[in-house]
Amino acid sequence: MASGVLNRTAAALDWVSAAFDAPLARAVVFGIHIDGHLVVEMLLIVVILFQLSRKSYKPPKKPLTEKEVDDLCEEWVPEPLCPSITEEMQTEHPTLESAAAPHTVVDGKEVVNFASANYLGLIGHEKIVDSCISSLEKYGVGSCGPRGFYGTIDVHLDCESKISKFLGTPDSVLYSYGISTIFSVIPAFCKKGDIIVADEGVHWGVQNGLYLSRSTVVYFKHNDIKSLESTLEKLTRGNKRAEKVRRYIIIESVYQNSGQMAQLDDIVRLKEKYRFRLVLDESHSFGVLGNTGRGLAEHYGIPIEKIDIITAGMGNALATDGGFCTGSVRVVDHQRLSSSGYVFSASLPPYLASAAIAAVDYLEDNPSVLTTLKDNITLLHKGLSCVPGFEITSNPLSPIVFLKLKKSTGSQDRDLQLLQKIVNRVLHEDSVFLVTSKRSSLDKCRLPVGIRLFVSAGHSESDILKACGSLKRVTDLELA
C-alpha cells in the first residue's frame, strides 16, 4: 500500500521534471545547469514563503464600542469589601487594665498572666522604666522620620552596637516593629530565582517574607532533620543551576507555632555540606536560651558566625518593641539600603531603644534570671504533664509551653472553640490568663492548634501550680 503511493509519487515527480526538462533542456544560468527538479523546488520554496508571510488566521478583532463598555461597567457588581459578619468567633479580647506583668488586671480582676512573652519578667522593671523616662524627656516619643532622614538617633546606634557586642557579631540593624524584621529581611536577600528551604511550621511573618521574596520555596517537615536533609539533597544533587543561585535555609530557633526547638548542630552541619546560608529567627530564644541568654547558638555551643543572618523581635524577652537583625558587616550594610521595612518606615521610638539597652544590661548583670526561668519552665512542664486529654509538644527548654489536644475533634475551628472554652473558664473561674494559639485564615501554617503558656522568670511557684491545677480541673470537666 505505502509502496504503491511512493511509486506513484515518484512517477508523478518524474513526469513533472520531464515536462520542465523538455523546454529548458540544457539551459545554463550563471554556470548552473537548470533542470526540471530545480524548477519544482524553487516553486515549492516560493509557495512556502508565501504561506509563511501570510498572517495566521485570527477572528477579526472588533474593539468594544463605548456603549458596550458602558453597559459592562453598568452591569458589573462587585463583591462586598468584607464578608457579612457571622457570630461564630469572638473578636473581643480580654482588656488589660495594668501592665502585662506576671500578675495583671483583666476586666477588673487580678489574674496570673501566662499570655505575655515577658520571659525575663522585665515588664514593669524599675531600671527599664527609668531609662524610658529619661529617654522620653530627652527625645520625645516618636522619631518622626525614617533612619535615612534624621530618624537615626544616637540611642539607635548605641542599641545596635550593644546587641552586636552582646552576641559577638560584627554589626546589627534595628527595625521598628518585631514582625516587620523578618518579612523585610527575607526579600532583601532572597530574590526571584533563589532557592529557599523553610520549615513548614514557620510563623506568618516568615511566610509573608517568603511570599514577597518571589523565590522558589521548598518546605520540609516541621523540625525534621531527615526531611531537611533529603530536601537539600534533592535540590542540589546534579543540579548545576542550583550552584549559581543563592540558597537559604530559613528556620526559627523556638517555633512560635509549636514550641519546638531547632536542632541547630545538625542544621549547621547540613548547611555547610550543601552550602546553604542560614537565616535564623531567634524571637523566642534571644535572651532565653544558653547560659547567658545569647540564644540558640550559645545553647549548642556553636560559634555565632556559622549563622549567616539572625533576626529577632524585641517584644519578648527584652520587653520592649521593634526587632533587630545581626550578622556580618556586609549583611547589615546591605539592609541599610535595600530592606524595605528599614528604609521606608519611621525608626524605632528612641525610648524603646533605650529600654532594649537597659534590658540587655540587666541580662548581663543578672544571668541568674535565666536559671529562674528554666526552673519555672521545668516546673510547669511537670505540672502539665498529667493534664488529661492534652500532650505537651514543646521542647522542655522552650519558654512557650504548648499543649496540644490528644484527640482532635477533626477540624481546626472546632478544636479552637473547645480550647477557647477551656481557656475562658480558666480565666473566669480561677483567674489564670492563658491563650489559645489563634490562627488568622491567611496563615498557611497547618500545625495543630493548642493552648500556649508563656513562662516568665517573674512567675512564682504558686502561680505555676495554680495554672496547672486550674487547667487540670477545667479540662476534667470539659473533656470528660
Contact 110, 427 (CB under 8 A): no
Q: Least Å distance between CB 3 and other proteins?
A: 49
Query: Per rule CB under 8 A, is residue 142 in the interface with other proteins?
Result: yes
Contact 183, 218 (CB under 8 A): no
Give the footprint of ligand PLP on residues 346-365 (CB under 6 A): 346
Q: Least Å distance between CB 92 and other proteins?
A: 9
Stretch that binds ligand PLP, among 80-88, 248-256, 341-349, 356-364 (CB under 6 A): 341-349
How, if at all, do strands 323-327 and 28-29 pair?
A: unpaired
Give the residue carrying C-alpha cell 539597652: 357
**Considering only residues 198, 331, 447, 449, which one is a binding residue for other proteins as defined by CB under 8 A?**
331
Contact 211, 158 (CB under 8 A): no
Q: Least Å distance between CB 305 and ligand PLP?
A: 32
Query: Per rule CB under 8 A, is residue 164 in the interface with other proteins?
Result: no
Q: How far apart are CA 232 and CA 426, in angstroms?
A: 45
Residue 384 dihedral angles phi and psi, to the nearest 5°: -90, -10
Quick one: which of 307, 312, 287 has its CA closest to 297?
307
Query: Per rule CB under 8 A, is residue 351 in the interface with other proteins?
Result: yes
**Considering only residues 85, 192, 410, 411, which one is a binding residue for other proteins as defined by CB under 8 A?**
85
Q: Least Å distance between CB 414 and other proteins?
A: 17
**Considering only residues 112, 160, 169, 178, which one is a binding residue for other proteins as defined by CB under 8 A?**
178
Shorter beta-carbon distance to ligand PLP: residue 164 or 335: 335
Q: How far apart are CA 156 and CA 164, in angstroms?
A: 12
Query: Per rule CB under 8 A, is residue 479 in the interface with other proteins?
Result: no
Q: Least Å distance between CB 406 and other proteins?
A: 24
Quick one: which of 102, 173, 136, 177 has its CA closest to 355?
136
Query: Per rule CB under 6 A, is residue 343 in the interface with ligand PLP?
Result: no
117 contacts which partner out of other proteins, ligand PLP, none, CB within 5 to 8 A by kind? other proteins
**Considering only residues 173, 185, 186, 189, which one is a binding residue for other proteins as defined by CB under 8 A?**
189
Residue 244 dihedral angles phi and psi, to the nearest 5°: -90, -15
Shorter beta-carbon distance to ligand PLP: residue 150 or 344: 344
Q: Least Å distance between CB 259 and other proteins?
A: 15
Query: Per rule CB under 6 A, is residue 345 in the interface with ligand PLP?
Result: yes
Stretch that binds other proteins, among 21-29, 46-54, 242-250, 392-400 (CB under 8 A): 242-250
Q: What type of residue sits at position 238?
A: G
Shorter beta-carbon distance to other proteins: residue 178 or 290: 178
Quick one: which of 231, 244, 185 has its CA closest to 210?
185
Query: Per rule CB under 8 A, is residue 28 in the interface with other proteins?
Result: no
Q: Vertex 452, ends 430 and 457: CA angle to 5°?
A: 80
**Considering only residues 172, 320, 393, 398, which one is a binding residue for other proteins as defined by CB under 8 A?**
320
Q: Least Å distance between CB 344 and ligand PLP?
A: 6
Q: Is residue 174 within a helix (H) or strand (E), and if so which, with residue range?
A: strand 171-175
Contact 314, 159 (CB under 8 A): no
Report helix, strand or coil for 32: strand
440 contacts which partner out of ligand PLP, other proteins, none, CB within 5 to 8 A by kind? other proteins
Indicate the DSSP class of residue 108.
Answer: T
Contact 254, 395 (CB under 8 A): yes
Give the footprint of other proteins on residues 353-372 (CB under 8 A): 355
**Considering only residues 37, 127, 306, 334, which one is a binding residue for other proteins as defined by CB under 8 A?**
334
Report helix, strand or coil for 401: strand
**C-alpha grid cell, residue 424:** 475562658
Stretch that binds ligand PLP, among 73-81, 287-295, 339-347, 355-363 (CB under 6 A): 339-347
**Considering only residues 13, 69, 218, 477, which one is a binding residue for other proteins as defined by CB under 8 A?**
69
H helical segments located in 320-459: 329-338, 340-343, 350-365, 368-384, 412-430
Site string for other proteins, 144-163 (x = CB under 8 A): xx-xxxxxxxx-xx------
- Listed in sequence order, the residues at least 6 apart from 471 whose beta carbon sits closer than 8 Å to its beta carbon are 384, 387, 403, 422, 426, 432, 434, 451
Quick one: which of 255, 249, 245, 262 has its CA closest to 284?
255
Q: What type of residue sits at position 175?
A: Y
Query: Per rule CB under 8 A, is residue 211 in the interface with other proteins?
Result: yes
Q: Is residue 198 within a helix (H) or strand (E), and if so which, with residue range?
A: strand 195-199
Query: Per rule CB under 6 A, is residue 417 in the interface with ligand PLP?
Result: no
57 contacts which partner out of other proteins, ligand PLP, none, CB within 5 to 8 A by kind? none
235 contacts which partner out of other proteins, ligand PLP, none, CB within 5 to 8 A by kind? none
**C-alpha grid cell, residue 151:** 530618624
292 contacts which partner out of other proteins, ligand PLP, none, CB within 5 to 8 A by kind? none
For ligand PLP, the binding residues (CB under 6 A) are: 344-346
